[in-house]
Amino acid sequence: MSRKKTIPDEQVHAAIRQLLATGGDKAVSFGAVARATRLAPSTLAQRFGTVPAMRAAALRQGWQALTEATTTAMDAAAGKGPQGLLKALDAVAAPVIGLLRVATDDESRALAAGWRQMVETALSLRIGQGEKAREAAAILFAAWQGQLLWGGEGFRLKDAVKRLT
């Protein structure tokens, strides 16, 4: 009979994502996660099997949580234009931007691509119809993500929205 988990997977996943965001793939090991969560490395090995499986589980859960938070933010921004949508999404995407750089397994990449498509579709619907709206949405998404990743000094997203819509 297995013991009751003292720390839920979601909490372990959050610690793993924090390690990934600050130190990349090499920062995640059973020992590093054990220190971050106060679980024994053997407990983590039993729970996840391998370090890559542990990392992948944390990324999948992170993408799923981001998708849910994005849906909520989109609902809150209903009736607002593309700039209003991106502003609403800043609050949910900025804290987990590190996930975008470390989606290394196939399932995480698929979840990331699905999230991107969801955001681009919502932007496109706020811009108009047709191929031009889809292209503008893709450009706005890329500009928004670039701004989150690298900062936006000298660049205002609202100016890009005005030019593209």
pLDDT digits (tens, 9 = 90+) for 34-72: 999 999 999 999 999 999 999 999 988 888 888 999 999
- Whose CA is closest to 97, among 17, 28, 25? 17
DSSP symbols for 149-165: HH--TT--HHHHHHHH-
Superfamily classification of domain 9-164: Tetracycline Repressor, domain 2 (1.10.357.10)
Its sign, for the CA torsion 56, 61, 65, 71, is: positive
Q: How far apart are CA 106 and CA 119, in angstroms?
A: 20
The amino acid sitting at 41 is: P
Average pLDDT over residues 131-152: 86
- Give residue 152's pLDDT: 66
Highest mean pLDDT of the ranges 2-11, 86-95, 150-159: 86-95
CB neighbours of 118 closer than 8 A, spacing ≥ 6? 67, 70, 71
pLDDT digits (tens, 9 = 90+) for 88-139: 998 888 777 666 666 677 888 888 889 999 999 999 999 998 999 999 999 9
- 101 or 29: which carries more pLDDT confidence? 29
Average pLDDT over residues 77-92: 90
The amino acid sitting at 95 is: P
DSSP state, 81?
A: -
pLDDT-based confidence at residue 156 (cuts at 50, 70, 90): confident
Alpha carbon 8 to chain centroid distance? 20
Q: How far apart are CA 27 and CA 136, in angstroms?
A: 37
The residues spanned by each domain of the chain are 9-164
